[in-house]
Amino acid sequence: MKYGERVLVLWLASSNKFRESANEERKLLREQLDNKIPRDDFDNMDATRCDRVLEFDRIRPEAKHLHEAHFLFRTLKLLYGDYLVTYPTHMSSYNILKRKSAAKAFELIGVELGFMFDVLFTKAMTGVGWRPRLFLRSINFLLSASALLAFWIMARNSKAYSEIDITISYLLLGGAIVLDIYSVIWMLLSDWTMLWLSKKREPLAKSICQFIYFFSVAVVSYS
């Protein structure tokens, strides 16, 4: 399952699939910006109107920077896919960055590049829904836990294995379970999850979103 997941991720990050994804992004941006807002309106657009056009005014304040970075990431996908960036998309990106200080702008670009890194070089599988991803992580964990339990029963009732072999096997199986748990926690605390949750209006989603934000701030402050 894990190797199949890796093959799927490599396929989704291949040149042809990435270009197809960039083309879909280009169509979405045209529907969101080009076909709704007159071109001349972008020249003198203030920050409030820009947020309203990009629907950032509906986002919780603690997650707004993620949506700004994600919009810049969507623009970057067009460039990586060898597509032209339209004037409204270019001006929207410019309006996002021009109101930032140099430090904040670099932080925003860091998050943007993090999104691109996840798409190209990790098993984030952003082109796949969160339910299949969570299902895969859960199945991997259950299989590792089942293997550890089966080995414990087998080793307990058998004297054919040395203590060193049993200890090493426990370490390997235990390490596999720890890695599976870590991957689930990483997925739940990732920027992608925060990005998705911040769009929801349910109280549970709001509480989880706030917890992830304060946890991230605490980790950064501690480090």
pLDDT in tens, 100-138: 899 999 999 999 999 998 888 876 655 556 677 778 878
The tokens of 187 are what? Answer: 């997925």
Residue 183 has pLDDT above 90, yes or no: no
Per-residue confidence (pLDDT) for residue 163, from 0 to 100: 84
Give the angle subtended at the CA of 169 by the CAs of 167 and 174, to the nearest 5°.
95
Dist CA 113 CA 70 (whole Å): 9
Helices (H), the chain: 2-12, 15-29, 47-53, 64-80, 87-98, 102-121, 130-156, 163-188, 191-197, 203-222
Write out pLDDT tens, residues 143-180: 989 999 999 888 887 777 788 888 899 999 999 999 88
Cα three-residue angle 128-116-52, rounded to 5 degrees: 85
* Alpha carbons 151 and 36: distance in angstroms, whole number: 61
The residue type of 121 is F
* Residues 113/58, Cβ–Cβ less than 8 Å: no
pLDDT exceeding 90 applies to what percent of the chain? Answer: 19
Nearest one of 170, 155, 178, 198 to 69, comparing CA atoms = 198
Q: pLDDT at residue 213 above 70?
A: no
Q: What is the mean pLDDT of the chain?
A: 81
Most confident stretch, 7-11, 23-27, 55-59 = 23-27
Q: Report the b/e string of 192-213 with b at 16+ CB within 10 A.
A: bbbbebbeeeeeeeeebbeebb
The contacts found for 84-93 with CB under 8 angstroms, 24 or more apart, are: 86/29, 86/30, 86/33, 86/34, 87/39, 87/42, 88/33, 88/34, 88/37, 88/39, 88/42, 89/29, 89/33, 89/34, 91/42, 91/43, 91/45, 92/33, 92/42, 92/50, 92/53, 92/54
The pLDDT assigned to 43 comes to 67
Whether this prediction's pTM lies above 0.85 is answered by: no
State the pLDDT at residue 45. Answer: 73
CA distances from 22 to 4, 16, 56 (A): 24, 10, 22
